Amino acid sequence: MSMFTKRSHLALFASAVLVGSVTAGAQTYRGGIGGTVVDASGAAIPQAKIVLKNTETGETRTTNSTQAGTYVFQDLQLGTYAVTISAPGFGDLTLNKIDVNPGAVTPANGKMSVGTSEVVVDVAADTTSEIQTLSSANNAVIGSKAVSEIPLNGRSFTSLLTLAPGYNANGSLNGARSNQINYQIDGTDNNDIWQGGTAANQGGVGPIAGVTLPIEAIDQFSIQSSGNAEVGHSAGGLVSLGLKTGTNSFHGSAYFYGRSEFFAANDFFAKTGARKTKTRNQQFGGSIGGPVFKDKLFFFTNYERQAYGIQLSSNSLTEPGAAYVTQATQLLARHGVNSVNPLSVNLLQNLWAGGNAAGLAANTNNYVETHQRHGYSDNFVGNLNYILSPKQTIRLQAFVGTGRQAEPANSTSTYWYYQVAPDITQSFSLSDNWAPTDRLSNQVIIATGIFNQTFNDLRHDFNMPGLGLNTGVTSPALFGAPSITMGSFDTVGVTQPLGRKDYTGHITDAATWVKGAHQIRFGGEFRRSYIDLQYQSGVRGNFTFNGYASQNTTLGAGVTGWSSSKTTAQVCGTPNATATASCGGVNDYSYIGSHNEVLALADFLNGSYFSGSFVQGNLRRDLYRTDLSFFLQDQFKATSKLVLNYGVRYDYFGALSSTGPLSIWRPGASGADANGLIRVGTPGSPSTYSPSKINFSPRVGIAYTATDKLVIRGGYGLYFDAPPFNGFGNNGSIATGSTATGLQANPFGGVQNVSLGVGTWQTNQYVWASAAGASNYGLFSINPNLKTAYSQTFNLGTEYQLSRNTVVTLGYAGSTGTHLYGLRDANQAAPGVGTSATALIPRRPCYINKCVANYASIGPVQEVASWGASNFNSLQATIKSNNWHHLTSQLSWTYGHSLDNGSGFRSTGPIDSNNLGLDYGNATFDIRHTLNGYLVWEAPQFTKHLAPLTAGWQTTLNAQLHTSAPINITVGDNTGLGMNNKDRVNYNGGVYKTGSRNIQTNPDGSKFIQYWATAAANSVISVPTYGSHGNVGRDFFRGPGFYVVDAALAKNTTIYENVKFQFRADLFNLFNILNPNTPTTSVSSNTFGQISGAPTGISSGAPFNVQFAGKIIF
């Protein structure tokens, strides 16, 4: 991490990022060059003069070797360098073409010859294919060739992460959770503190990135785990991206990438005879970098736009059109209702896209939604590098991405209720690199990052009081339709206001001091985190019309109930059938198969809701956190062959605070209310939790150069983990009766969940006038003994220089996780019969012990605690080659196994909160085998003639193959604990997979794969007797694996001197391999074990498609 050494730094930071925010870690994003100067006998040469020169910018730095003959230049900008070494009595030695990679010190040892003649040596064209003799960390560098040439579906850098051994397709790095990875862009925080993942290239509404950091702007990046003491803040590892910069030569590109469905294969699961769905994606832009003043001031900038539109593969919906309205009004009239509710009529015509529309039949799937999934983003990167002197450089950098996406929120969303997400991601930084002496260098970074992502209905301009439904919502910020569920008609008001704006400010300082054979690095970081929390689900209200209101209320004179609960054996034939005793003596539309929707619509037209609910009060909050870290690290060259790395790091992660009320559950505490809730910041609860002040983490490692071609390295490290904010502010429901899913959502400080029973709304009347607080409700809290999560990592491996161009690595990597954050029910019911929220309360400890005054109303208490544990073991191998017979390639394989008792702490909980060991099993992200690789072959010119046609050909392959992730098969709440249907099945031995990927066709033309054996209730898989959890561990079953090979064919043609044009075709899923989704896991479903879908559109693994690109490169 980095370090602040002066109080003035803190003052500057505090004023620069007053609105502060959250964070990453202070690890260096640059690289270094270091080595040892020796004579022909191997004896160290002290006080040799070493001059470093960046051959692209002209920047120079000078130092002298130590008494041990060692030297190092730290915090170097990525690029190509030359080192010239001179010493009295020896001829000068120049080492050319030394590439600096992120997060690594490139070895450049000098062996001096007696005399006066100068020796020039080309070290390498790409040092990512040379063994690393100084570092004990696992540091996988994705070089510029891979970044620029590998065909990428969606052109996102995140698709390249799987090239690193230990990283799998579920986002886990060496057994860590996906939210335990720290992302940086040139040392600047690139994390969404809410999710704990990358801010740039994070998915928006769907899997497509909301904004993208342009691939054209990325030089190279590294994925590091088991790092030294400088690495921290996230326990899993560091992804550090290095961006391109300006040089003394102008360079850049202009490009266009585009694809359509024309060359694509059809969806594997498309109905028989269905045409290919429209799939359009374009990404275009340009970059340029160069000198403002030669050898002094340089710039680089890149702009890119992405725009896409993807047709839905299934878009038949059910709308309450005029034909349905006619049937419903006839039903009402037959029961004495001769006029419909005018408010309902107005809402029907305004809130439903097909409400009361002519031409829509009174049948399900009567409405076809033709609007596509669509989105765009505009993305800009720019930086300035200024060489103040040979000892000091300054860099200003900015990344700004804005975009908007619209996708169906669920399977019943018309276009009006597609979920939309405007995205804004920004990052600004100022860095200063200064070498005040030959032995001391320092890097300081002042940065702030902004991530703004909110979710809403596409149409959220409905002024409900203006339409006559007085819900009390008058703020335009909360305008939009309430959530109205009406039978099986399409839901309106699907997405109520959700989202957040988060800000991260940090000042990071790291210094390097060279003393003899020691390279001592020390530093620290201060960071301030802030979130404007806007998760306000329920503030517009929720209403249910299910067709049963009339049988649960008092009706007017002459009106009879039209609701019915007749069995299917009593179904009458047609709407006009004569009433007979066999069908109950009634003649209602309620008995007509697909016309059950008429009942719900009749309720709606009468204005009679079955239930309603509303969140009263303000759920919007400001959340803050302050973090602090320090580190001290020494790289000690104990002998000419042995390097020791050791250090210690300190992390302090502050407690969450807010300017608005937050409450936690502390029954019996002074100041607690009748629910046992107490406001954070009062004497009874001064903070949300007590942050640890003793988070010291040791790091040790060795790098032993056994021979000139073989390095053995190993290491151990302890890493503390800062929790993401989402687990405290918008967690999901893990237990029956959960109503509060965040600290701000408890019934406290004016916030209350109110509900309505059966009732009728009227125009302009306040609909919640008779609403009452819920008779039972859930709470949200934090365990008072919450501890800081941490991981311990272990690695031992070898690296062998197979040839000048090829390096092979083989090693073990493992980790354990302790005190991992998890969610549990602190008021879990005892086992018993009855699983409704009301039935569970008498079995809950608070009720039994009368722990608070309102004990009879307290349901589950969802509590964030530190009960998680994990372990991971793996064997990893990589072979990497650079420019071997025009071939650059890498192949990596990981055989690993992740086990834990909980793989996250948002929206997931244990099977039994009082017996957490029952959930120990395969981690949700466990993938046993991962094999990834790429190759880029630049074909030599095969004839001297027709050079424009015979030269410049290039082909690329990129393969991703991995075995399946684990799956749970659950049977509901089989024990009466109320843990949201977590109980698992019994596995009775035998084969549960069919092993088939053969697609079968249903009578209606839809398709499926029977991947698991059908739910043989008493054979391979069965439902356990009531009271049993089932005999299988968590995540026992497996689904299909994933196999895809992408390819590219490119032709580079020189236009003028250093200007060339590249035309390329990217072929995604070259062999059109089917990659099925997860099977249906409900044993009670008649589609159990079936798969009915696979990746589509521009997702990795989608059916074969071709992307064409034109690119001018200079």
d(CA 1103, CA 277): 12
Side chain identity at 892, as an amino acid letter? Answer: S
- Residue 86's contacts (CB-CB under 8 Å, 6 or more residues apart) are 48, 49, 51, 92, 93
If DSSP codes are grouped into helix, strand and coil, which group holds residue 859? strand
> Structural domain tally of the chain?
2
- CATH code (residue 103): 2.60.40.1120
Q: Say what the pLDDT of residue 613 is.
A: 94
Q: Which of 575, 546, 566 is nearest to 334 (CA)?
A: 575
User: DSSP letter string over 737-783?
Assistant: T----STTSSS-TT-EEEEE-SEE--TTSBTTTT-EE-SSEEEEEE-
Domain contains 47:
yes
d(CA 992, CA 1005): 27
User: DSSP letter string over 957-1026?
Assistant: EEEEEE-PPEE--EEE-SSSS-SSSBEE-EE-SS--B------EE-TTS-EEEE-BPP--TBTTEEPPPT
Domain contains 914:
no
Q: How many CB atoms are located within 10 Å of the residue 173 CB?
A: 29
User: Confidence band (pLDDT; 50, 70, 90) for 625?
Assistant: very high
d(CA 108, CA 86): 14
Alpha-carbon dihedral 209, 210, 216, 221, rounded to 10 degrees: -60
DSSP 16: H
- Residue 1056's contacts (CB-CB under 8 Å, 6 or more residues apart) are none
- State whether the Cα torsion 50-54-58-61 is positive or negative: negative
Displacement of CA 891 from its chain's centroid (Å)? 25
Domain contains 1033:
no
Q: Say what the pLDDT of residue 1016 is.
A: 53
Residue 662 has pLDDT above 60, yes or no: yes
d(CA 242, CA 480): 43
Question: For 594-622, how does the pLDDT look when each residue is reduced to its tens digit (9 = 90+)?
Answer: 457 889 999 999 999 999 999 999 999 99
DSSP 195: T
Q: How many CB atoms are located within 10 Å of the residue 7 CB?
A: 8
Domain contains 120:
yes
Query: Which tops the pLDDT comparison, 29 or 762?
Result: 762
Q: Which residue has the tokens 């596409």?
A: 458
| Start-to-end C-alpha separation, the chain | 37
Q: Which of 765, 40, 690, 808 is nearest to 341 (CA)?
A: 765
* Residue 943 domain boundaries: 929-962+986-1022+1039-1114
Q: Which of 106, 136, 166 is the last residue of a domain?
A: 136
Q: Which phi-psi region, left, alpha or beta, contains residue 808 (left: φ > 0; alpha: ψ -120 to 50)?
A: beta
Query: Which tops the pLDDT comparison, 1085 or 36?
Result: 36
d(CA 764, CA 579): 40
Q: Which of 136, 169, 194 is the last residue of a domain?
A: 136
pTM over cut 0.85: yes
Domain contains 1008:
yes
Phi, psi of 467 (to 5 degrees): -90, 0
If DSSP codes are grouped into helix, strand and coil, which group holds residue 911? coil
Side chain identity at 17, as an amino acid letter? Answer: V
Q: Which residue has the tokens 């709304």?
A: 761
CB 647 within 8 Å of CB 680? no
Residue 586 has pLDDT above 50, yes or no: no
Q: Which of 86, 116, 136 is the last residue of a domain?
A: 136
CB 508 within 8 Å of CB 25? no
Residue 389 has pLDDT above 50, yes or no: yes
Question: For 420-431, how does the pLDDT look when each residue is reduced to its tens digit (9 = 90+)?
Answer: 999 999 999 999
Q: Which residue has the tokens 């990596």?
A: 892
Q: Which of 460, 604, 478 is nearest to 537 (CA)?
A: 478
Domain contains 1080:
yes
Domain contains 936:
yes
Q: How many CB atoms are located within 10 Å of the residue 822 CB?
A: 29
Question: For 443-474, how does the pLDDT look when each residue is reduced to its tens digit (9 = 90+)?
Answer: 999 999 999 999 999 999 999 999 999 999 99
Report, as an integer, the average pLDDT of 142-153.
92
d(CA 152, CA 527): 34
User: DSSP letter string over 200-259?
Assistant: TT-B-SSSSBSS---GGGEEEEEEEES--TT--SSSSEEEEEEE----SS-EEEEEEEEE
- Residue 1040's contacts (CB-CB under 8 Å, 6 or more residues apart) are 964, 997, 1011, 1075, 1076, 1091
- Residue 1086's contacts (CB-CB under 8 Å, 6 or more residues apart) are none
Q: Say what the pLDDT of residue 2 is.
A: 37
Domain contains 1068:
yes
Question: For 332-388, how does the pLDDT look when each residue is reduced to its tens digit (9 = 90+)?
Answer: 998 999 999 999 999 999 999 999 999 999 988 999 999 999 999 999 999 999 999
